[in-house]
């Protein structure tokens, strides 16, 4: 997953800080002292290597590679970086990506660039090689950062309209639709992003391009183009990116093109076509959405919405997702190997390509996504002797595929029904958030007696009078009056209405009132203090 996993960790850490992942020590200025650490770790790894302590050197090199997210955790949890961002820009909106997220992630972005430089100096010797490695890794990092930046830009533009933002945030159906549209847009533009963030150029006319185009015609595979991916000969790989033929791009790294003769190169291309033809990415995406939807349904309809329940469900589903998708991914690689042998009719060419690209020690290596080269070679040799081996694998994968698609369809229907049922209440929340209390009251006519949202709407509409509006100053005065007179029911209502309007002082007072009430009846002096805190300047 490369830098994508680093970015996911960094974003998770930012949001975790708002749930208590902070030491309480606030020293954002100290973040600058973290910046030299990747280079210091790199120098330590270099010294260990010179001293012949290769295991220690390799361990330190791995730490350098993951040092940016690790040090970012220290910046947020230990130095209070996110707490400082909250003070500078106000509390974040958890339901909407704020522009302040760029500031929150700024130390991570700097640390990653420093770590890339440290890693380049550790793995390369000459200045030219260091520059090539640094440029390549920076482009790889940018290919992960650009989609996040585009998402924040689009969300920021939508957020400029308060009405649009309120509907997307408060109406769960629209919130999910926005997330789905964002994923779809990301899938659509990903080939364009990679063509421009990676150093690519159209594959030149010649023997390699001619034979690859012949393979595409034989497989009835269409794409926008074939591209050479300049990695400084650091990566030997090929990839097909994109779902639509008009936008789909095929990338061949410079190292792969240099290493493989035409027959082996065709076998690798046919393997990548196999992933597209067999829809492996879509199946894994369906399974991923199944786990997400199951978690949402469990927390929304079955289990209590507590931090403990959320943590247990998230941990359990993440573990199950990791195990299942690893299992499927490894076997999808074998399935793509079968397609390669079917397209080219040349099993030995794929075997030679695997051994050439994998290197001398590849037989001992396996990963979450791939079987080791030795295991894949044994499978291909068995497939050549007995085609039933491939049919058995495909029958097993077919069962997993249909099970995943079926579960996705069922959970999607249940999720849509659940989201649709919440729309009426969500629209009331929209009107309360926008301060349109007359409209909120109209939307509560069919709600049951004793409904909390209906009670809030009635109280606000009565106070708003003919125009159905209350200014934030008027909400301040109503909440302060209720607190000062110890009318807790009214105080809770006005503070909640203010919090729904985005008044941070009302939200803080509401939490403080909860804390006071949990310890017994709040004292008059404490309530008067809260009343003074609420009577701040209008926002």
Residue-wise pLDDT for 320-368, tens only, equals 999 999 999 999 999 999 999 999 998 999 999 998 887 644 555 677 8
Question: Which segment of 82-91, 122-131, 224-233, 408-417 scores lowest on mean pLDDT?
Answer: 82-91
* Per-residue pLDDT at 306 exceeds 70: no
| Tens-digit pLDDT profile for residues 136-157 | 999 999 998 998 888 888 888 8
- The mean of the pLDDT values for the chain is 88
Given a contact cutoff of 8 angstroms between Cβ atoms, the answer to whether 457 and 501 are in contact is no
| Residue 539's pLDDT band (cuts 50, 70, 90) | very low
- Mean pLDDT (whole number) for 187-204: 91
Answer with the one of 418, 439, 471 that is the final residue of a domain.
Answer: 418
- Across-strand partners of 227? 202, 251
Given a contact cutoff of 8 angstroms between Cβ atoms, the answer to whether 67 and 120 are in contact is no
Given a contact cutoff of 8 angstroms between Cβ atoms, the answer to whether 286 and 248 are in contact is no
* Per-residue pLDDT at 44 exceeds 90: yes
- Mean pLDDT (whole number) for 187-208: 91
* Per-residue pLDDT at 428 exceeds 70: yes
Looking at the structure, do residues 68 and 98 belong to the same domain, yes or no?
yes
Among residues of the chain, what percentage have pLDDT more than 70? 93
Tokens of 2: 């490369």
| Cβ atoms < 10 Å from Cβ of 163 | 11
Q: Domain containing 435: what range?
A: 426-534
- Mean pLDDT (whole number) for 285-301: 85
* Per-residue pLDDT at 94 exceeds 60: no
Does residue 65 lie within any of the structural domains? yes
| pLDDT for the residue numbered 325 | 93
Answer with the one of 418, 434, 456 that is the final residue of a domain.
Answer: 418
How far is residue 286's CA from residue 409's CA, in Å, rounded to a whole number? 9
Given a contact cutoff of 8 angstroms between Cβ atoms, the answer to whether 390 and 331 are in contact is no
- Mean pLDDT (whole number) for 363-392: 86
| pLDDT for the residue numbered 5 | 85
Does residue 208 lie within any of the structural domains? no
How far is residue 54's CA from residue 479's CA, in Å, rounded to a whole number? 67
Given a contact cutoff of 8 angstroms between Cβ atoms, the answer to whether 341 and 393 are in contact is no
Q: Which residue has the higher pLDDT, 257 or 299?
A: 257
- Mean pLDDT (whole number) for 110-119: 95
Does residue 321 lie within any of the structural domains? yes
Q: Work out the burial of residue 202: count CB atoms within 10 Å of its CB; fewer than 13 is exposed, 13-18 middle, 19 or more buried.
A: exposed
* Per-residue pLDDT at 246 exceeds 90: no
| pLDDT for the residue numbered 16 | 80
| pLDDT for the residue numbered 360 | 47
Looking at the structure, do residues 387 and 436 belong to the same domain, yes or no?
no
Looking at the structure, do residues 412 and 454 belong to the same domain, yes or no?
no
- Mean pLDDT (whole number) for 15-38: 85
Given a contact cutoff of 8 angstroms between Cβ atoms, the answer to whether 104 and 98 are in contact is no
Classified as helix, coil or strand, 240 is strand
Segment 354-363 long-range contacts (CB within 8 Å, at least 24 positions apart): 356/259, 356/260, 356/264, 357/236, 357/237, 357/256, 357/259, 357/260, 357/268
Does residue 129 lie within any of the structural domains? no
Count of alpha carbons within 13 Å of 402, Cβ hemisphere only? 5
Looking at the structure, do residues 480 and 370 belong to the same domain, yes or no?
no
- Mean pLDDT (whole number) for 236-261: 91
| Residue 271's pLDDT band (cuts 50, 70, 90) | very high
Does residue 164 lie within any of the structural domains? no
| pLDDT for the residue numbered 304 | 62
| pLDDT for the residue numbered 238 | 93
- Mean pLDDT (whole number) for 415-444: 92
Does residue 496 lie within any of the structural domains? yes
Answer with the one of 123, 146, 172 that is the final residue of a domain.
Answer: 123
Q: Which residue has the higher pLDDT, 332 or 97?
A: 332
Does residue 363 lie within any of the structural domains? yes
Q: Work out the burial of residue 315: count CB atoms within 10 Å of its CB; fewer than 13 is exposed, 13-18 middle, 19 or more buried.
A: exposed
Among residues of the chain, what percentage have pLDDT more than 90? 50
Q: Which residue has the higher pLDDT, 365 or 29?
A: 29
How many structural domains does the chain have?
Answer: 3
Looking at the structure, do residues 333 and 442 belong to the same domain, yes or no?
no
Closest CA to 400 of 239, 278, 274: 278
Looking at the structure, do residues 516 and 432 belong to the same domain, yes or no?
yes
DSSP assignment of 25-66, as one string? ---GGGGGGGTTHHHHHHHHHHHHHHTT-HHHHHHHHHHHHT
pTM: 0.80
């Amino acid at each position: 997953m490369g830098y994508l996993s680093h970015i996911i960790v960094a974003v998770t850490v930012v949001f975790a800080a708002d749930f208590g992942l902070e030491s309480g020590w606030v020293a954002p200025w100290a973040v600058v002292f973290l910046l030299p650490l990747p280079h210091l770790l790199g120098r330590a790894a270099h010294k260990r290597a010179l001293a012949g302590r290769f295991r220690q050197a390799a361990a330190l090199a791995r730490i350098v590679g993951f040092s940016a997210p690790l040090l970012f955790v220290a910046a947020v949890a230990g130095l209070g970086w996110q707490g400082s961002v909250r003070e500078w820009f106000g509390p974040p909106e958890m339901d909407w990506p704020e522009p302040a997220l760029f500031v929150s992630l700024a130390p991570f972005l700097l640390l990653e660039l420093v770590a890339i430089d440290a890693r380049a100096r550790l793995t390369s010797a000459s200045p030219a090689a260091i520059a090539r490695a640094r440029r390549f890794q920076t482009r790889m990092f940018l290919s992960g950062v650009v989609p996040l930046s585009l998402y924040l830009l689009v969300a920021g533009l939508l957020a400029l309209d308060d009405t649009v933002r309120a509907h997307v945030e408060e109406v769960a159906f629209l919130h999910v639709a926005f997330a789905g549209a964002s994923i779809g847009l990301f899938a659509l533009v990903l080939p364009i992003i990679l063509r421009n963030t990676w150093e690519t150029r159209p594959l030149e006319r010649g023997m390699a391009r001619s034979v690859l185009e012949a393979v595409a015609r034989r497989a009835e595979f269409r794409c926008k183009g074939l591209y050479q991916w300049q990695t400084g000969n650091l990566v030997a790989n090929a990839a097909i990116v994109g779902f639509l033929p008009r936008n789909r791009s095929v990338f061949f790294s410079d190292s792969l093109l240099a290493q493989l003769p035409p027959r082996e190169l065709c076998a690798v291309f046919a393997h990548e076509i196999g992933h597209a033809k067999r829809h492996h990415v879509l199946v894994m995406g369906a399974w991923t959405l199944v786990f997400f939807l199951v978690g949402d349904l469990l927390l929304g309809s079955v289990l209590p919405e507590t931090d403990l329940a959320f943590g247990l469900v998230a941990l359990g589903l993440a573990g199950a997702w990791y195990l299942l998708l690893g299992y499927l991914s490894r076997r999808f690689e074998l399935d793509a190997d079968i397609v390669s042998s079917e397209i080219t009719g040349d099993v030995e060419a794929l075997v030679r390509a695997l051994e050439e690209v994998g290197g001398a020690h590849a037989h001992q290596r396996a990963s979450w996504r791939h079987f080791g080269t030795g295991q894949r070679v044994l499978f291909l040799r068995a497939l050549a002797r007995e085609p039933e081996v491939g049919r058995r694998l495909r029958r097993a994968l077919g069962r997993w595929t249909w099970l995943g698609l079926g579960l996705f369809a069922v959970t999607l229907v249940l999720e849509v029904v659940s989201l649709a049922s919440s729309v009426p209440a969500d629209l009331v929340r929209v009107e309360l958030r926008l301060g349109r209390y007359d409209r909120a009251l109209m939307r509560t006519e069919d709600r049951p007696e004793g409904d909390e949202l209906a009670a809030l709407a009635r109280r606000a509409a009565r106070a708003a009078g003919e125009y159905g509006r209350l200014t934030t100053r008027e909400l301040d005065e109503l909440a302060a009056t209720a607190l000062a007179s110890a009318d807790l029911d009214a105080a809770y209502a006005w503070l909640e209405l203010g919090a729904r309007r985005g008044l941070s002082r009302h939200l803080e007072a509401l939490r403080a009132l909860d804390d006071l009430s949990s310890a017994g009846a709040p004292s008059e002096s404490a309530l008067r203090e809260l009343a003074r805190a609420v009577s701040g300047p209008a926002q």
